[in-house]
A and B are shown apart, each in its own frame.
Chain A
């Protein structure tokens, strides 16, 4: 079945440093989504990328979808303590009539003040 892998598993940064997490799929994706889960919280949708090579920005967050639509990245510029949490990528798993998301293992970000 489809596998979605993320690296690194953990990342500790000083406040103000940049952060990047990478997502790789074993299959070509029609789209990719990113979610953020704060400690003790639930996953919250951040963004969806659909086009090959697409780049989207949300303030200090930059999301990229690879040209082959098999990888993606999330880059945070000048991290803040509010960025703490686990970032998941998720790709659709199209199985018959089912449309589901397969989540990666996540990257847990710690921001040291």
Chain B
């Protein structure tokens, strides 16, 4: 079974530039998450999708971050304009939807962003 695919693996940009990350979840997984992991910290949730709808984006800095999941499969996360503090690994995770609890998350390899 193919895992969660993410691209690009690495990206270096200058501040105020824009960047986009792509994620393809495990086939059939209804729930998709974007997490931000700053070096030395645990993953922090940015946004959660259920199929193609946003369930929670309360921690997404909406003045510069946007995300979409068209057709309920692939997702893109965009940062525009980037700031130095956005340097982090952006992890995409997916899970099958379970009504009772969260269940296991399957993470992609992540996209490492460096903002100069």
On chain A, which size bracket covers the interface? 20 to 34
Contacts of A42 in B (CB 8 A): 91, 107-110
Give me the interface of B with A, judged by CB distance under 8 Å. 31, 33, 35, 41-45, 48, 50, 55-56, 91, 98, 101-110
Complex Cα–Cα for A42 and B105 (A) = 11
Q: Are A103 and B104 in contact (CB under 8 A)?
A: no
Q: Are A106 and B42 in contact (CB under 8 A)?
A: yes
Contacts of A90 in B (CB 8 A): 42
Give me the interface of A with B, judged by CB distance under 8 Å. 4, 6, 30-31, 33, 35, 41-45, 48, 50, 88, 90, 92, 95-106
Contacts of B42 in A (CB 8 A): 4, 6, 88, 90, 103-106
Q: Which residue of B lies closest to A45 (CB)?
A: B104
Q: In the complex, which of the residues B102, B107, B110 has the most CB atoms of chain A within 10 Å of its own CB atom? A: B102
Contacts of B41 in A (CB 8 A): 105-106
Complex Cα–Cα for A44 and B45 (A) = 16
Q: Are A102 and B45 in contact (CB under 8 A)?
A: yes
Complex Cα–Cα for A33 and B107 (A) = 14
Chain A contact surface mostly: strand
Complex Cα–Cα for A30 and B55 (A) = 20
Q: Are A103 and B44 in contact (CB under 8 A)?
A: yes
Contacts of A103 in B (CB 8 A): 35, 42-44
Q: Are A100 and B56 in contact (CB under 8 A)?
A: yes
Contacts of B101 in A (CB 8 A): 30-31, 50, 92, 99
Q: Are A97 and B104 in contact (CB under 8 A)?
A: no
Contacts of A31 in B (CB 8 A): 101-102
Contacts of B102 in A (CB 8 A): 31, 33, 92, 99-101
Complex Cα–Cα for A104 and B37 (A) = 12
Complex Cα–Cα for A48 and B31 (A) = 18
Closest 10 CB pairs of A and B: A103-B42, A98-B56, A42-B107, A45-B104, A92-B102, A99-B102, A98-B55, A103-B43, A105-B42, A43-B107
